[in-house]
Structure 1
Amino acid sequence: MGKHIFSKKATTIALGLALTIPALTPAAAAGNGHVTIDSVKFNGMEAPKTIDKMVQTYTNASMDVKYSNGEVKNFPLSYKRLFKSEDKVAENKGKMIPAGTPIDVNGDPIMDTSVEGKPTYYVSDAPDSNSLLNPIHGQQYMVTHYEYQTIDAAGKSAYGIVPASMSLSTLEQNKETGELTPKEVKKIDFSSVNGLWIPCNGSLSPWNTHLGSEEYEPDARSFELDPNSSARTGVESFAKLYFGDKSKANPYFYGFIPEIKVDNYGEASVAKHYSIGRFSHELMKMMPDQRTAFFGDDGSYTTMFMYVADEAKDLTAGTLYAAKFHQTGTENGGAGNLEWIKLGHSTDKEVKKIIDSGIKFSDIFETSDVPKEGFKAIKQYSYGKTEYLKLKPGMEKAAAFLESRRYAALLGATSEFNKMEGVTLNEKDKKVYIAISDQSNGMIENAADPVDDMKLPKIKSGVTYQLDLTEGQKDSTGQKINSKYVAASMSGLIAGEDMPSADTYGNTANVNKVANTDNLSYSEALRTLFIGEDSGMHTNNFVWAYNVDTKRLSRILSVPSGAESTGLFAADNRNGFSYIMSNFQHPGDELDGKKITAVDKTELEQAMEKEIGIDRTGGVGYISGLPSLEDLQNTNRDVKSDLSNK
């Protein structure tokens, strides 16, 4: 692509490219005609077919922009890595440590002593959520999650036993090209909230704070009653590494939404919002009223929750609801109406006071090992099997906000969702998109379950659903819900396609369709839903672009074999530039057990180990080359493509 002319009035439309579309003056517009952007289209890429491509994070997709004068301009996309989680780019007490290294309650790096005499930094290989904040006093910041550690230095599983972390990156932004470069990376201090449990995906609030997550909340029943349970050993390991004292282990410290605020000086502060409820938070997505939120609840036998804050931009007090699913069909994955059950109202301070009192699971519920009068049979994720529970008198608030899923099931909400993950908003159409990564287990017919609300088709490669938002809705008791953004129904939008046997690349789901939808992000300007995969059914995971008007699905990024695509975040406008943030985590992890004949699997694994390292690091970066979405959002804005300078 050739050189393009810049002017003071130019509106930059390409990221990483010296390319402009000059804004026309009224006189020029009159002379040349009123030129606006008519439509955009992603041109997808093929799945990788060679080892050298299968180990890369790359794109050779592009975007066509069609102007109102009939001209079409093609914008090639590319991928830029900011850093890997193993890179020593994070400043910590005067030393540089790997970006993915967690810190303890004192702010010191947590060390891996699994190999005797050779302490090393723990380094998460699982970077996840990115929030590219709106610039603060012109400065660009990014919050990134480091979800977990797959293995330790000795090669043993470290999942769920090592404290997690987040980082705050100060980014330099090239004023001409928009290219981002890390200037400073700092670890975020969670000591005021007892550390950070497994942070999966996250979102940017409308008021420019980062809303994190803590998924797979430790089961308080198993923690209390079974000293050999993973809940007990995991939380005690966490406490030993984080506090230096396993006696400080408490499962009720974890399973909430942390909110990270960055001040005018680039310093981050953290608050955990206990009034939002405790469950397997994949992420929290706020609605345009800045009060209503929907969530992913990751795991098997989980629940759809909705939160309505008392005040806009304030998550310290509100009302929590859980959905009962009333099935209406099975087409394209399935459909149903949603009835909302009120669990209760509380404040962060009230719930934190209950936690600090030392409350245990047995203080909230009575249990029975067999059916018994006065006890209700439920099945939910954290325990994983049918349990018979009875709420103790006066424990409604503790149950609603510390055992949200159990309490919801007791009140009749549906606890049969499976792998409910990413959530995003289409504001114009008043729709929320939500990812069911694996439609099986509780979502299919199972007469042995205590409740069988869901009898949907089994689709292991998952379904992306849309929720229809309306106002004037009432809860299950007939009381009006104080929100204009209540989901009244859900229906399948994009379904995966399971295959009866693997292809030569080891794919067990159609490689030209989404498999195991996970991260979701929506661009209002592009009218496009972006989807990142978490799939063992695809040997290489992809990022997809789905135009909600044309229904066109395009593959736009491939990540290394056996890795998960994470950190998906579409930023329509940051100082006039547009970005699609996208990471990868645990490269090579999903290759184990796959039968691949199209390429030599041993050579592929060797190339993965050489180029990246298997389960050792993850990458943080973004898709570049997008046209400026500032032009797309304003149809009255005159633009003129300089096609003579190709």
Structure 2
Amino acid sequence: MNKKKIIAPLLSAAILFPTATNVFAEPNKPISSVKSVEFVGMDAPDTSDKKSAMYSEASLLVTLNDGSQKNVPMEYKSLARPGDVINGKTVGAAHDVNGNIIKNKDGKPIVSTAPDANTILSVNGKSGKLYLINHFESMPKNEIGNMPKALYLNTVEQDKKTGELKITDIEPIDFSADGGVWTPCAGVLSPWNTHLGSEEYEPDARAHEANPEKSPVTEFARNYYQDLEVIGNPYLYGYTTEVTVHPNGKTKAVKHYGMGRLSFENVTVAPDNRTVYFGDDGSYTMSFMYIADKAKDLSAGTLYAAKWNQTSDQNGGSANMEWIKLGHATDKEIKELAESLTFSDIFETTNDAAYAESNGFKRVKTSGKDEWLKVKPGMEKAAAFLESRRYGALQGATSEFNKMETLTINKEDNIIYMAMSNIEKGMMKNSNDPVDDIQLPRLRAGAIYEMNMAKGQKDRDGNPIDSDYVVKNMSGLLLGEDLASADADGNTAHPEKVANPDNIVYSENLRTLFIAEDSSMHTNNFGWAYDVDTKKLSRIISAPDGGEVTGLQAIDDLNGHSYLMVGSQNPGNIGYIDLPSTGKSKK
């Protein structure tokens, strides 16, 4: 049996664990290691009060090697909500390029209700300060249009004895060097103690160039720069972001232009601290791998895109993954291209199929757009890194994934888990698509996939790939289940299975995959704990009706306490659940 250490789930903030002594309430009894930890799930909400609340009624059954057991309840505690004022500053408010709060015509701050991506990090080790970085993914509709989004640095105090957390100050993180931040979605703590974030749903540079004055990118830029004459640049958005927090609480934020431009949901980093995998959200999207030149430095590296070679259409489907090299680049050189090029500088286009076929054009379908494209001479690098999905499709990579969400890594088993919120559209058999690599039965409730990594892999051209962590195959692990008709509670997906998985995060100590839903198929969205050894799925959290579960982060040890960060969007909430810690254990 696997021995595990308890982790604390945190809703929109954190879940923490006191000591094993507290758990068993016998101070003079020697602490033995944990034999097993089992999540005991909760029922779906059955009253109007529960359906409108963020709460947990789940528990943890802890068994020690001497046979002692304790059932420990999980309880949600709120840290902050959008619109709260902390140290005179408004949680979730939008800011312009100069750091001023953007207000509507009534003079009120425009405040996001969509917190995501909680990353707690410690500066200077155990004696250092604690900070929480979170994203605010969207801003509400308002009379001044598309808004700059926000990342916040929260100063956090931790009660070293109980593990309780409290936010004492907040500051917006400055992205003025890169034109602000666009739709920040999920994020992770890097192995080198920085925050790796995302810019989801990159703006379409082709559509922008066709009508820049009316483009949402220009609307965004005018609100960010408070300048009604500025024209936006779509190539400034759609990248992995990285935030470094210094001991004095100052931050440095960068965008990694050299990692490619796409609809980043999040990234996950392999144990070599060089190999990185991406979640590319939306319809007709692509799977990418990036291998940095140096460990713990993402500023230069090689970008690959995957081709799905299907081996089965059962249980969510399975495939061997073939990697196509798109190119090598640095952040600096791609940023220079981003600041100087337009879509028409990079591609030729046509709508005449007969002309296209005889003049070197290729038909591709990416982000739901069916196009005939040809890269202009000398523009291969610009295409690869500014239009990664379009260029990948031109090179033969599979651009048929649908609602590819977050990824997380199980280092011990050499597995990456990937959430696919819906299996439909490009993932179904489509004879009218330019290519039809993925041919699966429709599953609106979605699935979790596992991707096995291996050494000694070669790319499509037969060249060795410089990484020991290359995904070689992919298959369904955990599936939702569509219902033929809604049940008595209004669910259109089986209520005891996942529906539209979105955020996922893996705890190495617990050997548990935590799963957050963004679904309209369950009447309430849930958070789940999935034991990868026993295959037990337990419902552990319920979000308010209409809200999704977001911002997962598993923290196995922070000054002797463990946490699972969890958030809620629309309505927004940041909070945590206190749970007992059982001390160190081994598998």
**Partner residue in 2 for 1:184:** 169
**Partner residue in 2 for 1:148:** 138
Among 125, 128, 131, the residue aligned to 2:113: 125
Q: Contact 1:12–1:577 (CA<8 Å) still a contact in 2?
A: no
**Partner residue in 1 for 2:225:** 243
Distance 1:12 1:288, change over 3 A: closer
Match status 1:623 vs 2:582: no
Q: Contact 1:77–1:626 (CA<8 Å) still a contact in 2?
A: no
After superposition, the CA RMSD in angstroms is 2.0
The offset of 1:493, in angstroms, is: 0.5
- Bigger mean CA deviation after superposition, 331-340 or 548-557: 331-340
Q: Contact 1:12–1:576 (CA<8 Å) still a contact in 2?
A: no
Distance 1:22 1:622, change over 3 A: closer
Task: Work out which structure has the larger RCO, using CA pairs closer than 8 Å and 6 or more positions apart in sequence.
Answer: 2
> Hey, what's the Cα distance between the residues in 2 that align with 1:582 and 1:32?
33
**Partner residue in 2 for 1:554:** 538
> Hey, what's the Cα distance between the residues in 2 that align with 1:626 and 1:79?
14
Q: Contact 2:212–2:218 (CA<8 Å) still a contact in 1?
A: no
> Hey, what's the Cα distance between the residues in 1 that align with 2:31 and 2:100?
59
Distance 1:468 1:12, change over 3 A: closer
The offset of 1:74, in angstroms, is: 1.5
> Hey, what's the Cα distance between the residues in 1 that align with 2:379 and 2:40?
56
SS state at 1:282 partner: strand
The offset of 1:33, in angstroms, is: 8.8
Q: Contact 1:150–1:586 (CA<8 Å) still a contact in 2?
A: no
Alignment of 1:369-388 (within 5 A): 369-371=351-353, 372=356, 373=358, 374-381=360-367, 384-388=368-372
Letter in 2 for 1:194: G
> Hey, what's the Cα distance between the residues in 2 that align with 1:34 and 1:308?
43
Among 40, 43, 46, the residue aligned to 1:46: 43
Letter in 2 for 1:133: L
The offset of 1:186, in angstroms, is: 1.1
Q: Contact 1:63–1:626 (CA<8 Å) still a contact in 2?
A: no
Match status 1:429 vs 2:413: yes
**Partner residue in 2 for 1:85:** 82
> Hey, what's the Cα distance between the residues in 1 that align with 2:285 and 2:574?
30
Distance 1:257 1:397, change over 3 A: same
**Partner residue in 1 for 2:275:** 292
Match status 1:104 vs 2:96: yes
Among 135, 150, 154, the residue aligned to 1:169: 154
Q: Contact 1:365–1:390 (CA<8 Å) still a contact in 2?
A: yes
TM-score, normalization by structure 1: 0.85
The offset of 1:356, in angstroms, is: 2.2
Q: Contact 1:280–1:299 (CA<8 Å) still a contact in 2?
A: yes
SS state at 1:521 partner: strand
Letter in 2 for 1:623: I
**Partner residue in 2 for 1:258:** 241
> Hey, what's the Cα distance between the residues in 1 that align with 2:151 and 2:516?
20
Alignment of 1:274-293 (within 5 A): 274-293=257-276
Alignment of 1:215-226 (within 5 A): 215-226=200-211
Match status 1:323 vs 2:313: no
Distance 1:349 1:12, change over 3 A: closer
Residues 567-597 of structure 1, C-alpha deviation per residue, up to 9 Å, x if partnerless? 011111110101111110113xxxxxxxxxx
> Hey, what's the Cα distance between the residues in 2 that align with 1:248 and 1:227?
7
Q: Contact 1:135–1:574 (CA<8 Å) still a contact in 2?
A: no
Distance 1:34 1:266, change over 3 A: closer
Distance 1:50 1:12, change over 3 A: closer
SS state at 1:450 partner: coil
TM-score, normalization by structure 2: 0.93
Alignment of 1:159-558 (within 5 A): 161-226=146-211, 232-245=214-227, 246-357=229-340, 359-371=341-353, 372=356, 373=358, 374-381=360-367, 384-558=368-542
Q: Contact 1:61–1:555 (CA<8 Å) still a contact in 2?
A: yes
Note the residue ranges of structure 2 that are not aligned, 5 or more in a row. Answer: 9-14
> Hey, what's the Cα distance between the residues in 2 that align with 1:138 and 1:190?
25
**Partner residue in 1 for 2:21:** 21
Letter in 1 for 2:37: V
> Hey, what's the Cα distance between the residues in 1 that align with 2:22 and 2:514?
28
SS state at 2:326 partner: strand
Residues 321-347 of structure 1, C-alpha deviation per residue, up to 9 Å, x if partnerless? 000000111222111110000000000
Q: Contact 1:417–1:442 (CA<8 Å) still a contact in 2?
A: yes
Letter in 2 for 1:556: I
Q: Contact 1:526–1:632 (CA<8 Å) still a contact in 2?
A: no
**Partner residue in 2 for 1:563:** 547
The offset of 1:226, in angstroms, is: 3.8
Residues 10-56 of structure 1, C-alpha deviation per residue, up to 9 Å, x if partnerless? x9998767654399xxxxxxx98993211110000000010010111
The offset of 1:626, in angstroms, is: 4.2
> Hey, what's the Cα distance between the residues in 1 that align with 2:193 and 2:538?
30
The offset of 1:247, in angstroms, is: 2.2
Letter in 2 for 1:143: I
Greater Rg over alpha carbons, structure: 1
Residues 90-127 of structure 1, C-alpha deviation per residue, up to 9 Å, x if partnerless? x5xxxx232101211111111122xxxx1211100100
> Hey, what's the Cα distance between the residues in 1 that align with 2:409 and 2:330?
26
Letter in 2 for 1:369: N
Letter in 2 for 1:508: T
> Hey, what's the Cα distance between the residues in 2 that align with 1:361 and 1:233?
14
SS state at 2:230 partner: helix
> Hey, what's the Cα distance between the residues in 2 that align with 1:33 and 1:248?
67
Letter in 2 for 1:140: L
> Hey, what's the Cα distance between the residues in 2 that align with 1:47 and 1:149?
30
Among 41, 61, 65, the residue aligned to 1:64: 61
